[in-house]
Amino acid sequence: MQWQTKLPLIAILRGITPDEALAHVGAVIDAGFDAVEIPLNSPQWEKSIPAIVAAFGDKALVGAGTVLKPEQVDVLAEMGCKLIVTPNIQPEVIRRAVALGMTVCPGCATATEAFDALDAGAQSLKIFPSSAFGPAYIKALKAVLPQDVPVFAVGGVTPENLREWIQAGCVGAGLGSDLYRAGQSVERTAQQAAAFVQAYREAVQ
């Protein structure tokens, strides 16, 4: 299994509104990101996601986060989403997304959950919340997982500590509040996106 984008960092824009979405997504893509997630607990995501797909679907893997039900996967597929991110392991959600040709990055914490996700067809895994477990936990978990499964750290990842997660065996990370907080300026988003891209490049040199 191989992660589909050139930069294995997922921009998580939780809380973004349709009016702001295009400007902030444009900023992270300009910084070098090519995977973007709009969580479904964001306001009017049903407007933001199709707009982002239309504007940037040829430049980035665009998708949704906090996906909990198979029915949501169907709606998102119709919108043109290519990425499904979940906070938990719901095999039916994973199977539905895989059947529709989407990339799935489900959230797990234990070896049992990780293997349940892989059995359902997940092509990658996110360890969530990573900050509660730490890099040493992920390193230990990676020891029993298939080596070719891309593992992402999500939760508490900053430009300053990204290197620790990469060294623990993560291919990359999902970046939430340290990249984007609801209401912040586009300039702040661009600044943080550039910091994360630089941190990643330095970590993998």
How far is 187 from 143, CA to CA, in rounded Å? Answer: 40
Residue 37 among the catalytic residues: yes
How far is 174 from 155, CA to CA, in rounded Å? Answer: 7
Identify the CA nearest to 7 among candidates 161, 141, 139, 171: 171
Q: How far is CA 27 from CA 85, 130, 147, 173, 194, in A?
A: 21, 26, 33, 18, 9
Q: Which of 126, 160, 164, 202 is catalytic?
A: 126
Phi, psi values for residue 16, rounded to 5° = -70, 150
Identify the CA nearest to 42 among candidates 60, 59, 25: 25
Q: Which of 37, 92, 164, 187 is catalytic?
A: 37
Residue 126 among the catalytic residues: yes
Identify the CA nearest to 64 among candidates 88, 44, 43, 81: 81
Enter the tokens of residue 128.
């969530």
> What SS3 state is found at 153?
strand
State whether the Cα torsion 199-4-169-135 is positive or negative: positive
Annotated catalytic residues are 37, 126
